[in-house]
């Protein structure tokens, strides 16, 4: 690979040791990816602020001690703890939690914008169509590529930071036009319209696509023209949990898929899979069984709850309260919480018995207070990951089903896909 | 071909020398969520090598899976000494390679990562004694 003069200076250490380390890592990644060039990026979403052992702290401290600065606007993903609410996961309870907080502070010192969210695309000033960026958290990578049409591979920890420091990434995979063509088609038109209008449908669809697409880029035909970003967020998150779907196209909806021909870049589909209600039932069963066990709580906001999701929640709750024996957690970003506070919704939801948490999420360990036993969630991602890390038995439902269950104290499901 | 005397040229992803006993994983693995970096144990209950320890082994794996957290899991297990002596991959896996590169650099280690073809991967069984040299040549160790 041919490096330009500035990249060569970076690699030779002429711009300091932190830059040298970052550039070595980018060049190594380019070699592994067999990329023949590097390109500029305009934005990075940083995942390395999520604590995963002492090495994370050693890495960022090395960068800070050797004078690292960031070349592009860099926003932080969730942390393991909440800096706003230390009672969510107590930083004094263990060395790990203490280091998790230190790690988050280190990324603020490095110059990151501390948005602490896995749904950075819900905030203003997001990257646009065709922008080369660095995404890291899997749902955000999928949303940026699919829904916004920005271009990113899934950058793991350290590579995200090295890209933000150098402003460069290998010109490979989803940064290139040809890798963005659809290869596999899902047709959902046979599924009754009222089911396709339900928010749970998008989570189940994402779960199915993640399971079945292997490494192919999927396209979906038959989605309602008015499906919104919350629905597309659900597909992004669910598809990136049950499988690896860093890019999907929704025909007539997402920006690189005005038509079938455009999304496939003129090529033929390898396969067309027609989905039915049975597929949705199966997906729902895979994401948790409704056993006789008593309901213990509700977890919403994976990925972080949006302003419009708050709006629906307030409507559905209609002034009622959560049963006091249940826990009800809702995770969101500081930015969205601020908007919601302006409407007076945060206060009314809290009074109803909902605990709103920022900066982190509830599906990973250590478990947040009281979250055990049978937990209902509207998120396929939460239902997929939580049982591996927490003492929970998840059950997935629509937002309405979650709300009705929370108010009555027992699981309330609609008739469809219950079987 | 006598496997014990064969040497195989692999593709170097991260250069280094290592010698040890192979541990072949029959499925891909996420090093965040599926792996405990504090002791090097595979904790994914669905994984065929569930509860195996990777410490000191030459870890043969097709590729990592899932999360952006894989490089951190790799760097942490290498930092605390519970990690593999080397990786032999079936795919060019950037996440495993970057985690290893960062640990090598921060902690002055020399853990190599090489990529081999599927047919070479199939010749390796858990317990085989392997050597990887700095030119990316893999040998079955007769010792």
- Per run of 10 residues, the mean pLDDT along chain A (length 419 residues) is 96 98 98 96 97 96 98 97 89 88 97 98 97 97 98 97 98 98 97 94 97 95 96 97 94 97 90 96 93 95 98 98 97 98 98 97 87 96 90 95 97 72
Is B80 touching A (CB cutoff 8 A)? yes
pLDDT value at position A417?
54
Is the pLDDT confidence value at B1 over 50?
A: no
Q: Is the Cβ–Cβ distance between B32 and A52 less than 8 Å?
A: yes
List all residues of chain A from 150 to 189 with a beta carbon under 8 Å from chain B: 154-160
Q: How far apart are CA A151 and CA A146, in angstroms?
A: 9
Is B103 touching A (CB cutoff 8 A)? yes
Structure tokens at A361: 């999420």
Number of helical (H) and strand (E) elements in chain B, helices listed first: 3, 10
Structure tokens at A80: 């393991």
Indicate the burial class of B58 (C-beta count within 10 angstroms; 0-12, 13-18, 19 or more): buried
Q: Is the Cβ–Cβ distance between A151 and A237 less than 8 Å?
A: no
Strands A44-46 and A74-76: parallel
pLDDT value at position A2?
87
Q: Which residue, among A79, A382, A146, A52, has the nearest Cα to A241 in the 3D structure?
A: A382
Is the pLDDT confidence value at B2 over 60?
A: no
Q: Is the Cβ–Cβ distance between A379 and A237 less than 8 Å?
A: yes
The interface predicted TM-score of the complex, written ipTM, equals: 0.94
- Give the CATH number of the domain where residue B45 resides: 3.50.30.10
Q: Which residue, among A144, A282, A263, has the nearest Cα to A207 in the 3D structure?
A: A282
Structure tokens at A131: 């922008």
For residue A187, the 8-state DSSP code is E
Strands B129-132 and B18-24: antiparallel
Q: How many other C-beta atoms are found inside a 10 Å radius of the C-beta of residue B11? A: 15
pLDDT value at position A370?
85
Q: Which residue, among B123, B133, B91, B114, has the nearest Cα to B6 in the 3D structure?
A: B123
CA B113 to chain CA centroid, Å, is 7
Place of tokens 């192919």: A216
**Mean pLDDT value of segment B24-35:** 91
DSSP letters, B87-112, are: EEESS--HHHHHHHHHHHHHHT----
pLDDT value at position B3?
59
What is the set of active-site residues of B?
Answer: 67
Comparing CB atoms, the residue among B66, B71, B78 nearest residue A158 is B71
Structure tokens at A268: 């033929």
Angle at CA of residue A47, ends A214 and A170, nearest 5°? 65
Number of domains in chain B: 1
Which of A45, A52, A240 should one mutate to test binding to chain B, selecting the residue with the greatest count of B CBs within 10 A?
A: A52
- CA nearest B66 in A: which residue? A244
Structure tokens at A390: 């927490």
Contacts of A48 in chain B (CB under 8 A): 72
What is the pTM for the complete model shown? 0.95
Q: How far apart are CA A327 and CA A347, in angstroms?
A: 17
Q: What are residue A44's DSSP bridge partners? A: A74, A134
pLDDT value at position B9?
87
User: In this predicted model, what pLDDT tens digit does every residue of B67-77 receive, in sequence order?
Assistant: 788 999 999 99
Angle, helix A159-166 to helix B94-107, in steps of 10 degrees:
80
Is A214 touching B (CB cutoff 8 A)? no
Q: Is the Cβ–Cβ distance between A211 and A280 less than 8 Å?
A: no
Q: How far apart are CA A57 and CA A53, in angstroms?
A: 8
Outline where A175-306 has alpha helix (H): 193-196, 199-212, 229-242, 260-263, 277-286
pLDDT value at position B45?
79
Contacts of B68 in chain A (CB under 8 A): 47, 136-138, 154-157, 160
Q: How far apart are CA A160 and CA A214, in angstroms?
A: 24
**Is the Cα torsion angle A78, A288, B47, B90 positive or negative in sign?**
negative
Full residue range of the structural domain in which residue B62 is found: 3-140
Strands B137-140 and B129-132: antiparallel
Residue A97, CA distances (Å) to A192, A388, A390, B7, B125 in order? 47, 20, 17, 47, 39
């Amino acid at each position: 690979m041919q490096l330009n003069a500035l990249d060569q200076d970076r690699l030779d250490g002429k711009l300091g040791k932190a830059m040298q380390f970052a550039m070595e890592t980018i060049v190594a990644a380019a070699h592994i990816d067999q990329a023949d060039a590097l390109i500029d990026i305009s934005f990075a979403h940083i995942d390395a602020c999520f604590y995963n052992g002492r090495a994370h702290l050693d890495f960022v401290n090395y960068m800070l001690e050797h004078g690292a600065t960031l070349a592009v606007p860099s926003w932080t993903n969730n942390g393991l703890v909440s800096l706003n609410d230390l009672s969510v996961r107590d930083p004094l309870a263990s060395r790990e939690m203490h280091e998790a907080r230190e790690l988050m502070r280190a990324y603020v010192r490095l110059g990151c914008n501390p948005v602490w969210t896995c749904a950075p695309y819900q905030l203003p000033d997001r990257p646009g169509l065709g922008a080369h960026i660095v995404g890291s958290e899997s749902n955000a990578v999928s949303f940026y590529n699919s829904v916004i049409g920005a271009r990113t591979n899934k950058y793991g920890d350290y590579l995200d930071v090295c890209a933000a420091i150098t402003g460069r990434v290998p010109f490979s995979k989803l940064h290139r036009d040809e890798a963005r063509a659809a290869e596999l088609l899902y047709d959902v038109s046979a599924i009754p319209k009222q089911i396709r209008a339900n928010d749970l449908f998008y989570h189940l669809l994402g779960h199915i696509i993640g399971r079945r697409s292997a490494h192919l880029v999927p396209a979906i035909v038959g989605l309602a023209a008015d499906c919104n970003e919350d629905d597309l967020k659900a597909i992004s998150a669910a598809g990136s949990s049950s499988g690896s779907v860093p890019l999907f196209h929704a025909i007539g909806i997402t920006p690189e898929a005005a038509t079938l021909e455009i999304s496939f870049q003129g090529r033929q589909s390898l396969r067309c899979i027609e989905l039915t209600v049975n597929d949705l039932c199966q997906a729902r069963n895979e994401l948790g069984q409704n056993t006789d066990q008593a309901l213990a709580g509700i977890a919403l906001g994976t990925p972080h709850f949006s302003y419009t999701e708050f709006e629906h929640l307030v409507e559905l709750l209609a002034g009622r309260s959560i049963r006091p024996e249940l826990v009800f957690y809702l995770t969101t970003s500081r930015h969205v919480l601020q908007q919601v506070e302006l409407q007076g919704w945060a206060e009314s939801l809290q009074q109803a018995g909902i605990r709103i948490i920022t900066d982190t999420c509830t599906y990973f360990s250590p478990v947040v207070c009281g979250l055990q036993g049978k937990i209902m969630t509207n998120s396929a991602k939460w239902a997929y990951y939580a049982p591996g890390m927490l003492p929970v038995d998840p059950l997935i439902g629509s937002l309405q089903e979650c709300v009705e269950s929370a108010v009555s104290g027992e699981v309330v499901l609609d008739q469809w896909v219950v079987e | 071909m006598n496997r014990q005397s064969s040497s195989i040229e692999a593709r170097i992803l991260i250069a280094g020398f290592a010698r040890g006993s192979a541990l072949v994983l029959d499925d891909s693995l996420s090093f965040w969520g599926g792996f405990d970096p504090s002791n090097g144990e595979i904790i994914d209950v669905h994984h065929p090598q569930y509860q195996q320890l990777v410490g000191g082994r030459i870890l043969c794996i097709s590729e990592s899976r899932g999360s952006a957290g894989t490089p951190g899991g790799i760097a942490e297990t290498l930092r605390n000494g519970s990690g593999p002596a080397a990786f032999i991959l079936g795919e060019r896996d950037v996440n495993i390679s970057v985690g290893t590169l960062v640990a090598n650099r921060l902690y002055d280690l020399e853990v190599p990562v090489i990529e081999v073809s599927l047919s070479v991967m199939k010749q390796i069984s858990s317990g085989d004694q392997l050597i990887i040299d700095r030119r990316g040549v893999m040998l079955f160790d007769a010792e």
